[in-house]
Amino acid sequence: MNSVELIGLDKHYGQYHALKSLDLTIEKGEFIVMVGPSGCGKSTLLKTIAGLETVDTGKITIGGKDVTRAEPGDRGIAMVFQSYALYPHMTVAENMGFGLRMARRPKAEIDVAVRRAADILRITEQLDKLPKQLSGGQRQRVAIGRAITRSPDVFLFDEPLSNLDAALRTQMRVELSTLHAELGSTMIYVTHDQVEAMTMASRIVVLNKGAIEQVGSPLALYANPVNRFVAGFLGAPRMNFIEGTTTEVGTDDALVQLAGLAPLRIALRQGATVKTGDPVTVGIRPEAFAVGGSKPASCPARVRLVENLGRETVVYADASPLVTSGSDTGTRNVTIQLGSAVAVAPNSEITIGFDPADAYLFGSDGATLTPAKPEIQSR
């Protein structure tokens, strides 16, 4: 049975179109992560599922029941908030049992549920403390515990880890994944952190300007983005985008001219709508670049900046006339990610290259023109 179904959700804030006719079906037990840039509507969408915001039109069902107009407390959901939103005057145990208390469950049952949740999250020692006596990570656990205690059909998480430091965030990420495996409940998780999305999601929903760009497993989205937006949003460092033109379009491939490179032959997917002379964008992931002349398409470049991260090296190189657009760094440099610590001196001249088979081609409307790539590369 479908756990959550969103049908044609539409919402305006005054003139602002926050959600644009959204459709999404979520299976029971899925871990859905919604990502997108600030203001893309991901938090609004989560709040409409929770019932904290209303929709203008559309329908929301949870567990097969129409809950579009139901109160948040009647939807069979629990939510973990960014600020934890613990009741400051209640002890940890009271916080966790509050939902059941409001549902007028017997005290013994509440105690059992609170104990069980506290055991799972290892916060049994903190049950009599007040939220202000706890650290950030412990508060986060209590907030999750409060959600577990209600044994909801669906867990909603609104950027729950964004107030934690890096080490704690990694730990909580692993714990949340474990918790999901243990409980088997449906979880919907909103974040702007793509590491959280890639590591925890069974499916990622990429949102942009109030609409869904793409839904799929993390690797599917990474290997086969449907458009330039998704390609640019997932992956750090970001994909290199290079503007060019098609000089010749065949049935299953096209010749693309980029400044500073010999024409590239790039495969086209079935039904790709592109004509000779169209402006197109070539996308190359930083890890698809190599230093040295080993790759089919190569050009000289001057190293501008090297980031040695130990396990990997990120090189920013000026390869003009080959220039990128819309990069993270705000420059027109090419970003190259090398798989190990490499000695590359700033300002040195190097040759960079890539295999056109690794390149993505995007039409002027942003849609991907290249055929599907394997999700796991055989190397």
Partner 1 sequence: MTIWWRRHRNWLTPALLLAPGLFLFLVVIIWSSLETFWISFFDWDGMGVKTWVGLANYRELLDDPQFYVSLKNNLIWLLMFLLAPPAGLAIAFLVNQKIAGMRVMKSLFFMPLVLATVTVGVIFTWFYDPTFGLLALLFRAFGAEAPALLSNEHLVTFAVVASALWPQIAFCMVLFLAGLNNLDEELIGAGRVDGARGLAMLWHVVLPQLTQVAFIAVAITIVGALRSFDAISVMTAGGPFGSSTTLAYQMYEQSLFSYRFGYGAAIATILFLIMAVFIAWYLRGLIRAEKGA
Q: Choose the binding region for partner 1 from 12-20, 84-92, 271-279, 307-315 (rule: CB under 8 A).
A: 84-92
The residue (of 71 and 365) whose beta carbon lies closer to partner 1 is 71
Select from 1-9, 99-107, 239-247, 288-296 the region that touches partner 1 (CB under 8 A). 99-107
Taking CB under 8 A as the criterion, which residues in 114-153 touch partner 1? 132, 146, 150
Q: State in Å, rounded, how far the first CA of the chain is from the last one.
A: 39
Q: Is 83 one of the binding residues for partner 1 (CB under 8 A)?
A: yes
The least CB distance from residue 282 to partner 1, in Å, is 44
| Residue 103 touching partner 1 (CB under 8 A) | yes
What's at 78, amino acid-wise?
A
To partner 1, the closest distance from the beta carbon of 82 in angstroms equals 7
CA distance 204 to 190: 10
**CB-CB contact of 121 with 153 (8 Å):** no
Is 51 near partner 1 (CB under 8 A)? yes
Q: At what angle do helices 107-121 and 92-102 cross, to 10 degrees?
A: 130
Which one of 16, 25, 87, 377 is in contact with partner 1 (CB under 8 A)? 87
Q: Which is nearer to partner 1, 98 or 354 (CB)?
A: 98
Cα–Cα distance for residue pair 304/321, rounded to 1 Å: 15
Kindly write down the DSSP assignment for every residue of 167-202, as one continuous string: HHHHHHHHHHHHHHHHH--EEEEE-S-HHHHHHH-S
Which SS3 state, helix, strand or coil, does residue 99 take? helix
Give the residue with the Cβ less far from partner 1, 163 or 331: 163
Q: Provide the residue type at 361 as one letter.
A: L
Question: How many alpha carbons lie under 13 Å from residue 238 in its C-beta half-sphere?
Answer: 19
Close Cβ partners of 14 (under 8 Å, ≥ 6 residues apart): none
Q: How far is CA 11 from CA 22, 33, 120, 363, in A?
A: 10, 21, 38, 30
160 forms part of the interface with partner 1 (CB under 8 A):
no
CB-count burial class (<10 Å; 0-12, 13-18, 19+) for 148:
buried
Among residues 73, 136, 292, 346, which is the contact residue for partner 1, using CB under 8 A? 73
- Asked if 171 is part of the footprint of partner 1 (rule: CB under 8 A), the reply reads no
Output 155 or 229, the one with its CB closest to partner 1.
Answer: 155
Q: How far is the CB of 50 from partner 1 (least distance, A)?
A: 6
CA distance 328 to 35: 17
Q: How many residues bind partner 1 (CB under 8 A)?
A: 26
Please say which residue, 18 or 291, places its beta carbon nearer to partner 1.
Answer: 18
Binding partner 1 by CB under 8 A: which of 81, 177, 243, 265? 81
Nearer to partner 1, 158 or 253 (CB): 158
Is residue 47 a contact point for partner 1 (CB under 8 A)?
A: yes
Question: What's the gap between Cα 151 and its chain centre?
Answer: 26
13 binds partner 1 (CB under 8 A): no
- SS3 category, 211: strand
Q: Which stretch binds partner 1 (CB under 8 A): 25-33, 77-85, 201-209, 276-284?
A: 77-85
Among the listed residues 14, 24, 13, the one whose alpha carbon sits nearest the alpha carbon of residue 46:
24
Q: Does 52 engage in binding with partner 1 (CB under 8 A)?
A: yes
- 41 vs 286, beta carbon nearer partner 1: 41
Binder of partner 1 out of 1, 14, 15, 88 (CB under 8 A): 88
Residues 307-366 that bind partner 1 (CB under 8 A): none
Shortest Cβ distance from residue 156 to partner 1 (Å)?
A: 8
Q: Greatest CA span in the chain, whole angstroms?
A: 76
Which positions lie near partner 1, rule CB under 8 A? 47, 50-52, 71-74, 77-79, 81-83, 85-89, 98-99, 102-103, 132, 146, 150
